[in-house]
C-alpha cells in the first residue's frame, strides 16, 4: 500500500504503467532523529519521499546556521538530483524521527531516461519551477489562446494604399478585404486611415471620391513587434486609447492588429471590461465596468496568465478608471494645471484588486484654483463609489497635505528628508512610487528629480530609508522551514514588503525612474548593481507572493456575503492549504528574501 499522491507533481508527469513500476519498487523505512540519509559528495542509493517527519538539507562546509539549506516534510521528494548527478551535493539528515518511501536509484534513473519531462522537473531551478506550476494550474497547458498567443498569430495582412490613392480606391479596398483600416506611406513614415477618417473626410471636409486620401491619415501610431505577446498589444491599446496597433518589423509594416480581432481571439466576455471602461461616458457606466474587474482577474488567473502581465493589464485599467473619474469630476480648465498621481502599490502597478486609494495632486505654480479642496473631496468620494476604499493613512487628495504646487512639494521633500524619522521615511517611500494617471506628467518627473537630488547621495538618509525592509521577520524558522502558526503567515510583511522596499531603496540610491518593482530590478541589473540571476529569482519570488496573496483575496471576495472560510485577513496565508510543491516554492522564495535582506543589510549598513 503506497500512500503517495501520484496525481501531484512530480509523479503526475509519469505515465500510468511507469507509475505502477515505481509503486512496485517502493520501500518504506523509519529513520531516527539525527540519522544521515545522504552524505555530501557520496553517491545516493535511493530517492526519498517523506511520508512523515522532517529532513534537513545541510551544507557541511558552512557553519551550522548558514549551512541549513532546506527542510523536507510530508510529501516532499529529495535525493533526486543526487541520484541524477551521481552523488549528493549536500548532506541530508533527519530532524526528527521520519518515515520515508524509498525509490531505488537504478529504477529512478530508468524512469528519468524514459520520460524526460520527469527528469526535467528535478533539474528545474526556482524560476523554472515557478513557471511549471503556473502552467499546470487549472489545466493551464491548454490555455492556448491567451498568454502564448503572439501578435503575428492574430494580425491581418497590411492593406496598403498605393501612393496617390484616392478616397474611392480606399473605400473599394476596405470593402474588398472586409477591413476597418488601411496603411499609407509618406516620406518613409507609415500612417493609418480608418473608415471613420474616410467618413469625416467626405462629410466634414468636403472631399470627393476622387480626392487623394493621404491627407486623412494619422501618422501617430502605436507600434508593436510581431513576436510581442498579443496580451501586451492589448495593454498598449488600453493605455493609448486606440483600437488598432500596427505591427512593425524594423521600419516595415507587416500587419495590423484590430481591437475587435484581439477580443474575438480571446472570445471571453471578461476581456471586454477594458472596452467598457473606455466607452463609459458617465460615472454610472464607469462604476459598472469597474465592478467587473475582479471577474477579469479571476479569468486571467484561471487561464494561468503570468502575474507580471496580469499586473500590467490591471494597472493600465485601474489607471484609466481613475483618470476617467478625474475627468468627470474636475473641470477641464483645471485639469491642464495639475497632475494626478497614484502612489504606493497602485503607483508601482502592483495592485491587482482594489485595496485602497493612495493618491496625490501636483499643481503647476501658475494654477489658480480656489474651489480645489471641494473638487478633491468630491473626487475622493467618487473613487469610493467606484469601489476604491479610503486610504486608512489618509494619503488622498481630499487631504490638503497631499495636494500642492511643485514648490510646495519640493519643500515637503526636503523637510521629510531632514526629519529622518519613520513617518517621514514612509512619506518619501510613498512618493517615490508616484505614477501619473491624469494631467501633466512632466510635473512628476520634476518632483522625482528633486527627490533624487536630495536623497540619492545621502548615505545616512538611505540607510534610514532602507531600514524598514528588515523590520518584519521572514516566516522561516531557524531550520529554514516554513513557520506555521495557526493564524497563518503574513505574506505581505514577511515576503512582499522586504522585496518591494529593498528594491525601492536601491532604486532611490541609483536614480531609477521606473516605479514597478520588476522594471526597477531590470534597471538595477542594467546599472550593474545586481546580478541578473539574483534579480530574476527576486522577481519570481515576488510574483509568487503576489499570486498567493491574490488567490487568498479572491477566495475572500467569493466568501463575501456568505462567510470567509477561515475568517482571516487577506494577507494571512494558511500554509496547510498549499500543496507540497507550492510550499516548496514558497520556502525557496522566502529563502531568496532572506538572502536579499542580508545583502541590503551589508549595503546600507543596517547590522547594528
Partner 1 sequence: MLKRLVQKRRHRSGPYGHLFQTPDGQELMALDCETTGLDPRRAELVSVAAVPIREGRVRAGAALELHLAPPASLSGESIRIHRLRGVDLAQGLDVHQALEQLLAFIGNRPLVGWCLDFDLAVINRYLRPALGFDLPNPVVELSDLYRKRERYRSPDALPDLRFERVAGKLGVPVIGRHTARGDATTAALMYLKLNPSVVDQ
Which one, 45 or 564, has the nearer CB to partner 1?
45
Least distance between partner 1 and beta carbon 52 (Å): 6
Residue of 36, 84, 99, 263 that binds partner 1 (CB under 8 A)? 99
User: Is residue 460 at the binding interface for partner 1, with CB under 8 A as the rule?
Assistant: no
Of 16-24, 157-165, 369-377, 597-605, the segment contacting partner 1 by CB under 8 A is 16-24
* Count of all residues that appear for the chain in the document: 608
Does position 3 interact with partner 1 (CB under 8 A)? The reply is yes
Cβ-contact 327, 438 below 8 angstroms: yes
Q: Which stretch binds partner 1 (CB under 8 A): 21-29, 244-252, 297-305, 560-568?
A: 21-29
Using the rule CB under 8 A, is 30 a contact of partner 1?
Answer: yes
Residues 6+ apart with CB under 8 A from 96: 33, 53, 54
Shortest Å distance, C-beta 30 to partner 1? 5
Burial of 566 (0-12, 13-18, 19+ CB in 10 A): middle
Burial of 6 (0-12, 13-18, 19+ CB in 10 A): middle
For partner 1, the binding residue among 26, 143, 403, 524 (CB under 8 A) is 26
Helix axes 442-455, 497-509, angle to 10 degrees: 80
In Å, how far from its chain's centre is CA 83?
36
Q: How far is the CB of 106 from partner 1 (least distance, A)?
A: 14
Residue 19 near partner 1 by CB under 8 A: no
Interface region with partner 1, contact rule CB under 8 A, candidates 17-25, 346-354, 404-412, 460-468:
17-25
Between vectors from CA 170 to CA 165 and to CA 176, what angle results, nearest 5°? 130
What CA–CA distance (Å, rounded) separates 272 from 264?
Answer: 10
Stretch binding partner 1 (CB under 8 A), from 24-32, 333-341, 355-363, 587-595: 24-32
Q: Is 126 in the site for partner 1 (CB under 8 A)?
A: no
* Triad 126, 132, 138: Cα angle to 5°: 140
Q: How far is the CB of 6 from partner 1 (least distance, A)?
A: 12
24 belongs to the binding site for partner 1 (CB under 8 A): yes
| Nearest alpha-carbon partner for 438 in 362, 494, 493, 524 | 362
| Contact pick of 8, 29, 241, 457 for partner 1 (by CB under 8 A) | 29
2 touches partner 1 by CB under 8 A: yes
CB of 24 to partner 1, least distance (A): 4
Closest C-alpha to 339, from 316, 311, 367, 315: 367
The least CB distance from residue 101 to partner 1, in Å, is 8
Q: Does the footprint of partner 1 cover residue 27 (CB under 8 A)?
A: yes
Question: 147-174 b/e with 16+ CB inside 10 Å = b?
Answer: bebbbbebbbebbebeeebbbebbbebb
Q: What contacts 82, CB < 8 A, 6 or more positions away?
A: 38, 43, 44, 88, 89
Q: How far is CA 73 from CA 94, 191, 232, 584, 606, in A?
A: 10, 61, 40, 10, 34
Choose the binding region for partner 1 from 29-37, 205-213, 506-514, 597-605 (rule: CB under 8 A).
Answer: 29-37
**28 is a site residue for partner 1 (CB under 8 A):** yes
Cβ-based nearer residue to partner 1, 114 or 422? 114
In angstroms, what CA-CA distances link 574 with 73, 549, 581, 583?
A: 16, 11, 15, 10
Residue 56 or 103: the one with the smaller Cβ distance to partner 1 is 103
Task: Based on the shown chain and the rule CB under 8 A, indicate whether residue 33 belongs to the binding site for partner 1.
Answer: no
Name 31's bridge partners.
98
**Total interface residues for partner 1 by CB under 8 A:** 19
State whether the Cα torsion 131-136-137-143 is positive or negative: positive
* Minimal distance, residue 359 CB to partner 1, in Å: 55
| C-alpha radius of gyration, the chain, whole number | 28
Q: Is 36 in the site for partner 1 (CB under 8 A)?
A: no
The helix or strand, by DSSP H or E, that contains position 299, with its residue range, turns out to be: helix 293-302
Does 52 participate in binding partner 1 (rule CB under 8 A)? yes
434 vs 512: CA distance, rounded Å: 13
Task: With CA atoms as reference, report the closest residue to 160 among 170, 151, 150.
Answer: 170
Binding window for partner 1 (CB under 8 A); candidates: 23-31, 285-293, 327-335, 525-533: 23-31
By CB under 8 A, name the one of 14, 19, 51, 465 that touches partner 1.
Answer: 51
**Cβ distance to partner 1 smaller for residue 107 or 262:** 107
* Interface pick for partner 1 out of 48, 72, 92, 101 (rule CB under 8 A): 101
Which residues contact partner 1 (rule: CB under 8 A)?
Answer: 1-3, 22-30, 32, 51-52, 97, 99, 101-102
Amino acid at each position: 500500500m503506497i500512500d503517495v499522491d501520484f496525481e501531484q507533481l512530480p509523479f503526475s508527469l509519469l505515465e500510468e504503467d511507469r507509475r505502477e513500476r515505481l509503486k512496485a519498487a517502493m520501500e518504506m523505512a523509519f529513520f531516527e532523529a539525527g540519522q544521515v540519509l545522504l552524505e555530501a559528495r557520496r553517491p545516493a542509493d535511493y530517492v526519498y519521499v517523506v511520508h512523515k517527519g522532517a529532513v534537513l538539507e545541510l551544507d557541511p562546509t558552512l557553519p551550522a546556521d548558514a549551512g541549513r539549506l532546506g527542510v523536507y516534510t510530508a510529501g516532499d521528494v529529495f535525493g533526486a538530483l543526487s541520484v541524477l548527478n551521481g552523488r549528493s551535493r549536500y548532506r541530508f539528515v533527519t530532524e526528527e524521527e521520519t518515515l520515508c518511501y524509498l525509490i531505488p536509484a537504478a529504477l529512478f534513473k530508468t524512469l528519468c531516461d524514459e520520460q524526460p519531462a520527469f527528469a526535467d522537473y528535478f533539474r528545474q531551478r526556482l524560476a523554472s519551477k515557478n513557471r511549471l506550476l503556473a502552467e499546470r494550474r487549472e489545466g493551464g497547458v491548454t490555455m492556448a489562446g491567451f498568454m502564448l498567443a503572439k501578435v503575428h498569430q492574430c494580425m491581418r495582412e497590411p492593406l496598403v494604399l498605393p501612393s496617390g490613392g484616392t478616397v474611392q480606391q480606399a473605400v473599394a479596398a476596405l470593402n474588398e478585404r472586409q477591413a476597418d483600416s488601411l496603411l499609407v506611406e509618406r516620406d518613409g513614415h507609415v500612417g493609418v486611415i480608418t473608415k471613420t477618417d474616410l467618413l469625416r473626410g467626405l462629410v466634414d471636409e468636403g472631399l470627393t471620391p476622387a480626392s487623394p486620401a493621404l491627407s486623412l491619415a494619422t501618422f501617430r501610431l502605436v507600434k508593436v513587434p510581431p513576436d510581442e505577446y498579443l496580451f501586451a498589444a492589448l495593454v498598449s491599446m488600453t493605455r493609448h486609447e486606440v483600437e488598432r496597433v500596427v505591427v512593425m518589423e524594423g521600419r516595415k509594416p507587416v500587419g495590423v492588429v484590430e481591437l475587435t480581432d484581439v477580443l474575438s481571439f480571446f472570445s471571453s466576455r471578461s476581456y471586454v471590461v477594458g472596452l467598457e471602461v473606455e466607452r463609459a461616458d458617465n460615472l454610472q457606466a464607469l462604476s459598472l465596468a469597474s465592478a467587473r474587474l475582479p471577474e477579469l482577474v479571476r479569468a486571467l488567473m484561471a487561464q494561468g496568465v503570468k502575474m507580471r502581465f496580469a499586473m500590467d493589464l490591471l494597472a493600465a485599467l485601474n489607471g484609466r478608471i481613475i483618470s476617467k473619474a478625474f475627468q468627470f469630476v474636475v473641470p477641464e480648465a483645471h485639469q491642464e494645471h495639475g497632475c494626478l498621481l497614484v502612489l504606493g502599490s497602485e503607483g508601482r502597478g502592483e495592485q491587482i484588486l482594489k485595496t485602497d486609494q493612495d493618491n496625490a495632486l501636483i499643481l503647476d505654480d501658475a494654477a489658480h484654483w480656489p474651489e480645489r479642496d471641494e473638487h478633491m473631496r468630491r473626487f475622493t468620494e467618487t473613487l469610493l463609489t467606484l469601489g476604491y476604499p479610503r486610504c486608512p493613512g489618509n494619503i488622498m487628495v481630499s487631504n490638503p497635505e497631499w495636494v500642492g504646487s511643485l514648490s510646495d512639494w519640493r519643500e515637503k521633500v526636503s523637510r521629510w528628508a531632514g526629519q529622518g524619522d519613520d513617518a517621514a521615511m514612509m512619506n518619501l517611500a510613498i512618493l517615490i512610487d508616484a505614477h501619473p494617471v491624469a494631467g501633466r506628467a512632466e510635473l512628476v518627473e520634476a518632483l522625482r528629480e528633486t527627490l533624487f537630488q536630495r536623497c540619492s547621495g545621502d548615505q545616512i538618509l538611505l540607510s534610514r530609508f532602507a531600514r524598514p525592509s528588515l523590520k518584519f521577520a521572514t516566516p522561516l524558522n531557524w531550520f529554514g522551514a516554513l513557520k506555521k502558526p495557526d493564524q497563518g503567515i503574513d505574506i505581505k510583511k514577511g515576503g512582499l514588503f522586504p522585496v518591494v522596499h529593498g528594491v525601492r531603496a536601491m532604486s532611490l540610491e541609483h536614480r531609477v525612474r521606473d516605479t514597478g518593482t520588476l522594471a526597477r530590478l531590470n534597471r538595477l541589473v542594467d546599472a550593474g548593481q545586481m546580478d541578473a540571476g539574483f534579480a530574476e529569482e527576486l522577481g519570481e519570488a515576488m510574483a509568487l507572493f503576489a499570486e498567493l496573496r491574490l488567490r487568498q483575496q479572491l477566495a475572500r471576495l467569493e466568501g463575501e456575503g456568505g462567510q470567509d472560510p477561515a475568517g482571516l485577513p487577506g494577507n494571512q496565508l494558511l500554509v496547510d492549504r498549499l500543496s507540497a510543491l507550492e510550499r516548496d516554492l514558497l520556502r525557496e522564495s522566502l529563502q531568496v528574501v532572506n538572502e536579499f535582506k542580508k545583502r541590503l543589510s551589508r549595503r546600507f549598513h543596517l547590522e547594528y
